[in-house]
Structure 1
Amino acid sequence: MDYYSIASILVVLSAIFGYINVRFLKLPITIGLMIITLLFTLVVIVIAQFDDTLLLQEKAFITSIDFETVLLDIMLSFLLFAGALHTNFNQLRIQRWPILVFATFGVLISTFLVGGIMYYVLSWLGLEIAFIYCLLFGALISPTDPIAVLGILKKAGAPKKLETKIVGESLFNDGVGVVVFLTIFAIAAKPNAAIEVSEIATLFLQEVVGGIGLGLILGWITYKLMKSIDNYEVEVILTLAAVMGGTMVAHQFHLSAPLAMVTAGLFVGNDTVRNSVMSETTELYVDKFWELIDVLLNTILFVMIGMEMLVLSLERNFIYAGLLAIPLLLICRYLSLWLPIKFFAKRLDFVPKTTLIMTWGGLRGGISIALALSLTSEMHRELFLVITYLVVIVSIIGQGLTVEPIIKRITKKYKPD
């Protein structure tokens, strides 16, 4: 199937499911689309008991989509830029140190905690998996998803300090998580080769520092170009060019495109640049354009996630491992956040029970599934894909539907900032 046909089918399904959600379910778009797509897929499976034509066609359609490439190499840059563009920069600057620690040390601690615990859990289930592959799973499942959580937090009316911590952490830990995953992947792919610590450090620094550096350059160039003109059509196109051209440059020089896009989005979206560069008309069109891009790609992404169920190997032990992983991942996330929050709580005004809220509000999403899809068969791809899928489904639907009342209940006595 050609790319145009694939894109057309996804957009049509997204539009239909999005309409059903808005008209009847009235749930946050990520949750609503996930539920509707899963129900649609289950209906197809039931129909297949009598006539498997539709099921075979849907399976062929799903397998024709390179989910990993579509999300990691294309969609992620647009989604992260859009998310960063609308993030409160002043609050982000105030909360920069805890966010930095959450997105770096938090991800690393979570990676090793999850990897170590899953190694013993899988062994207990009779699945002998090498520790390095369990560590790979820890790396791919540790990043939280800003795409899934942002709309839910806004609807919940979370205090700005809390919203900034969760969204800021999610924006940056995606990039860091991908880099950690790629680093461990490089080690796992050559188990018998001697890999120097200096090589690992170089790869990590090149991706992280290089990605942030590229983002600053892109943001500065876009700022200068927008400042020299007053034409909202061209200025919107300049922001689009920054994302598309910047992503190509990042891939060419092996830099972190997610970190580059987050940095560029924060640069262009901060109040100083907005007030000195954008007219009211330009600001309105830039914001609306990227909101539309965000919604469109979100709908397509979560329709794709829901349909991925058809290509999973649902073996009994795989399902048991996934169900056990869900509470264990929450415990690991809580532990990875506890020490940094304890440390910074003495310096910054934290919302009560921030650790609990950030644990429950740290939803997993499409990035984890895309990374799981990039595993090789030797790395037990099918096993970790099933575990990841179950974690993501429960995270988005279970945690997503309950995080709003939890936030409201815990923060109702907290004075808004």
Structure 2
Amino acid sequence: MPPLQLASLLIVLAALFGTINYFVLRLPQAIGILLVALIVSLAAMALDALVPGLGIGTGLRDLVLGIDFSDALLEGMLGLLLFAGALHVKVEDLRAQALSVFVMATIGVALSVAVVGVGFSWLTGMPLLVALVFGAVVSPTDPVAVLGVLRAAKLSRSLETTIAGESLFNDGVAYVVFLILIGLAFPAAHATHGAAGDGNAVIAAAMLFLREAVGGALLGGVLGWLTFRVMRRIDDYALEVLITLALAFGGYELAVAAGVSAPIMAVGGGLMIGHVGMKYGMSDETRKYVDAFWKMIDEILNAVLFLLIGIEVFAVAFDLDGIETLVAAVALSLAARLVSVAVPVLLIGRRQGFERGTIPIMTWGGLKGGISVALALSLPDSDWKPLILTATYVIVVFSILVQGLSVGALARRFSREPKLV
């Protein structure tokens, strides 16, 4: 199917399923679209099994398998989603929570990858390096999904900033860790920019991490600052909106070409425009249009992304004989998230000061999303890929439908508690 027709179909389905959710389910929009898409997909598969002659399930499966989900997200949507999310984070608030955000997005991600990797290797017999790749796949959280749910709970500004910052940055960090580990686990399929095959793989991996993470942050900051310098000389809201779009698209592709982390670049650029650009480089009218434009981009892309997650069930090979492994994978993912939150909070709790309920809210609110599915789909073919893809999909759907629909109530419960200093 030509790209324009495919994009048109996805927009139509997202609008249709969103309308069904609005009138029938009344769930948060992204979660509702995912649930409707999942129900329709499962119904089509069941109908295909009952009446094979119709060929409905086969046709839909061919359509879904024809969509390169990994490229669509990692090379297109992710940069816009992260830029939009970072644009609305207040740098002043983020600076106050910088220590907790940094520790959770680095040490926390490393702990999550280790817990999932070691646990899943022990559980399934999977080689440790491959299991660590799985850990990197399911460690990033979905900033858009979790913030959309938590905003309704009216959290304190400090806790919301910690959650927002950690979610935005751990996506980029986990992606860099994924690139390093996949180069070590599958050296023949992924050279990983030279991390694999060098005499000292550990040093090479560390240098790659620094180049990707630090390089991505520096590139995002520089491009954001240059964009601000141009925008401050312009007073045309349409052109300025276009310039921010060019920064998100062009900066992402430049980061890919330069061999630095494109997701971290998108976050850095978004933070720069959201802080310096919004405050010093835009008129009130331009600020209003830029803000509204990126909120709409955020909502539309998020709707399409959750639709894609719902229909990607056709790409997953479920084996009911391994249901215990999938349940254990969900429990392991939650345990890893608990460790990745609790250890940093306990390490820096006296210096930073956290709201009561930070650990349970951030643990249960660590929703997984499209980036995990995209990373799983991008793995090279191997005997372990079907299991990794299935486990990832189950973890993502569980986190969005179960955790996403209940974390708001959990957050509201703790938001009424006094602060824990």
Give the TM interval when normalised to the shorter protein: over 0.9
> C-alpha distance in 2, partners of 1:46/1:111?
36
Partner SS state of residue 363, structure 1: coil
- The residue aligned with 1:231 is 236
* Deviation digits for residues 27-69 of structure 1 (CA, Å, limit 9, x no counterpart): 1122111111111112212321224322122111101110001
Could you tell me whether the CA contact under 8 Å between 1:144 and 1:364 is conserved in 2?
A: yes
- The residue aligned with 2:313 is 309
Post-superposition offset of 1:318: 4.1
Given the superposition, is the C-alpha separation of residues 161 and 206 from structure 1 closer, same or farther in structure 2, using an over 3 Å criterion? same
The farther-off stretch of 242-251 and 44-53 is: 44-53
1:169 to 166, 170, 179: 166
Partner SS state of residue 241, structure 2: helix
Q: Kindly indicate whether residue 178 of structure 2 is the aligned counterpart of residue 181 of structure 1.
A: yes
Could you tell me whether the CA contact under 8 Å between 1:318 and 1:383 is conserved in 2?
A: no
- The residue aligned with 2:156 is 159
- The residue aligned with 2:27 is 27
Q: Kindly indicate whether residue 411 of structure 2 is the aligned counterpart of residue 414 of structure 1.
A: no
2:115 to 113, 116, 121: 113
- The residue aligned with 1:82 is 84
Q: Which runs of 5+ in 2 are unaligned?
A: 189-195
Given the superposition, is the C-alpha separation of residues 257 and 379 from structure 1 closer, same or farther in structure 2, using an over 3 Å criterion? farther
> C-alpha distance in 2, partners of 1:132/1:250?
27
Partner SS state of residue 226, structure 2: helix
> C-alpha distance in 1, partners of 2:360/2:9?
40
- The residue aligned with 1:126 is none
Query: What letter matches 1:311 in structure 2?
Result: A
> C-alpha distance in 1, partners of 2:101/2:417?
24
Post-superposition offset of 1:194: 5.3
Could you tell me whether the CA contact under 8 Å between 1:319 and 1:386 is conserved in 2?
A: no
Q: Which runs of 5+ in 1 are unaligned?
A: 124-128
> C-alpha distance in 2, partners of 1:24/1:88?
36
1:241-256 maps to which residues of 2 (within 5 A)? Answer: 241-256=246-261
> C-alpha distance in 2, partners of 1:342/1:315?
39
The farther-off stretch of 397-406 and 345-354 is: 345-354
Partner SS state of residue 378, structure 1: coil
Could you tell me whether the CA contact under 8 Å between 1:318 and 1:386 is conserved in 2?
A: no
Could you tell me whether the CA contact under 8 Å between 1:187 and 1:195 is conserved in 2?
A: no
Query: What letter matches 2:130 in structure 1?
Result: Y
Q: Kindly indicate whether residue 362 of structure 2 is the aligned counterpart of residue 370 of structure 1.
A: no
- The residue aligned with 1:61 is 63
Query: What letter matches 1:32 in structure 2?
Result: G
- The residue aligned with 1:201 is 206
The farther-off stretch of 173-182 and 23-32 is: 23-32
> C-alpha distance in 2, partners of 1:135/1:16?
39
> C-alpha distance in 2, partners of 1:118/1:102?
22
- The residue aligned with 1:36 is 36
Query: What letter matches 1:409 in structure 2?
Result: R
> C-alpha distance in 2, partners of 1:228/1:277?
8
Q: Kindly indicate whether residue 138 of structure 2 is the aligned counterpart of residue 141 of structure 1.
A: yes
Post-superposition offset of 1:163: 1.1
The farther-off stretch of 23-32 and 390-399 is: 23-32
Post-superposition offset of 1:411: 1.7
1:225-304 maps to which residues of 2 (within 5 A)? Answer: 225-270=230-275, 272-304=276-308
Query: What letter matches 2:357 in structure 1?
Result: K
> C-alpha distance in 2, partners of 1:59/1:322?
22
- The residue aligned with 1:15 is 15
User: Identity over aligned residues, as a percent?
Assistant: 41
Q: TM-score, normalised by structure 1?
A: 0.95
Aligned length: 410
Query: What letter matches 1:365 in structure 2?
Result: G
2:323 to 313, 319, 324: 319
Could you tell me whether the CA contact under 8 Å between 1:28 and 1:152 is conserved in 2?
A: yes
> C-alpha distance in 2, partners of 1:328/1:27?
27
Pairwise CA RMSD? 1.6
* Deviation digits for residues 229-274 of structure 1 (CA, Å, limit 9, x no counterpart): 111011000000001110111111111110000011011001x432
Query: What letter matches 1:315 in structure 2?
Result: D
Q: TM-score, normalised by structure 2?
A: 0.94
1:353-368 maps to which residues of 2 (within 5 A)? Answer: 353-368=357-372
- The residue aligned with 2:192 is none
Could you tell me whether the CA contact under 8 Å between 1:142 and 1:177 is conserved in 2?
A: yes
Given the superposition, is the C-alpha separation of residues 189 and 379 from structure 1 closer, same or farther in structure 2, using an over 3 Å criterion? farther
Post-superposition offset of 1:338: 1.6
> C-alpha distance in 2, partners of 1:304/1:81?
20
Post-superposition offset of 1:277: 1.3
Could you tell me whether the CA contact under 8 Å between 1:107 and 1:177 is conserved in 2?
A: yes
Q: Kindly indicate whether residue 405 of structure 2 is the aligned counterpart of residue 405 of structure 1.
A: no
